[in-house]
Amino acid sequence: MAIALPEGLIVPAVLGCESKNLEDISSSAKDLAARAKGEGAPLTQEENSGGTFSVSNLGMFDIDQFTAIIVPPQSAILSVGKARQEAVVENGEIKTAQLMKMTLSVDHRVNDGAEAAMFLAELKSILESPSKIFG
């Protein structure tokens, strides 16, 4: 995850995500953010350099969409904008829905566009039906 500090942006990693549940990942991310801001023990070298994928959220700054730059040696970064209520057409009727734009920047030396598209499709599916996270 990308964390803005007065000294600049850092991208510490939640390590071992593949063996953590959603609650553990959330707890680890909160701990990393607090320690990055100087609360508690300092970040380890591995936490500062061991990431492979980052998420950058500028939605809280009222940003709709942006493209983040990959921080080496990572392979991708997901940019998340603000969720907005917008008019959509569904089955021929106009309704309102919460929409959020995301952009995925991928290092093509590591991943290809097809894999990136499949990842975004799966992420979209999960966000539209959050119960899929637990199934």
- pLDDT one-digit tens code per residue, 71-111: 888 999 999 999 999 999 999 999 999 999 999 999 999 98
Residue 132's pLDDT is what? 81
- Domains, the chain, in order of start with CATH, read 3-107 (3.30.559.10)
Is 59 marked active-site? no
pTM for the full model? Answer: 0.83
Q: Of 108, 115, 122, 124, which residue is the catalytic one?
A: 108
| Residue 21 exposure: Cα atoms within 13 Å on the Cβ side | 3
User: What is the structure's pLDDT at 57?
Assistant: 92
Q: What is the pLDDT of residue 9?
A: 84
* In the predicted structure, residue 133 carries a pLDDT above the cut 80: no
Average pLDDT over residues 19-48: 92
Amino acid occupying residue 135: G
pLDDT tens column, 2-28: 888 888 888 899 999 989 998 999 999
Place of tokens 């637990």: 134
Give the pLDDT score at 135. Answer: 63
Helix (H, G, I), strand (E, B) or coil at 22: helix
- Provide the 3-class DSSP secondary structure of residue 104: strand
pLDDT at 42: 93
Which amino acid appears at position 100 of this protein?
M
What pLDDT does 24 receive? 94
